[in-house]
Amino acid sequence: MSFGGRMATFLVLLAIVVGLVVFSVVTFLTPQPATVDFTGAQTSGSPVNLTVQTVGAIGFGDHPTWVSYMVKDPSGAWVHSTVWKVPAHTRINVTIDQYDSGSPLRNQQWGLVQGTTGGIASLNAKPFRVFDSYSGNGVGHTFSIPTLGISVPLIGVDGNAKAFCNSAAPCSVSATHNVISFSFTTPGPGEYPWQCFVPCGLGFLFGNGGPMSTVNYMGGFLDVAA
Return the domain boundaries, the chain: 3-225
**pLDDT at 43 (0 to 100):** 81
**pLDDT at 41 (0 to 100):** 76
For residue 32, name the pLDDT band (cuts at 50, 70, 90).
Answer: low
Task: Label residues 184-213 b or e (16+ Cβ within 10 Å = b).
Answer: bebeeeeebbbbbbbbbbeeeeeebbbbbb
More confident residue, 189 or 26: 189
Q: What is the pLDDT of residues 199-223, one digit of tens each?
A: 988 777 777 889 998 999 999 999 9
Considering the domain delimited by 3-225, tell me its CATH architecture: Sandwich (2.60)
Out of 22-26, 193-197, 203-207, least confident range: 22-26
Q: What is the pLDDT of residues 80-119, one digit of tens each?
A: 999 999 999 999 999 999 999 999 998 999 999 999 999 9
Contacts of 124 (CB under 8 A, 6+ apart): 178, 179
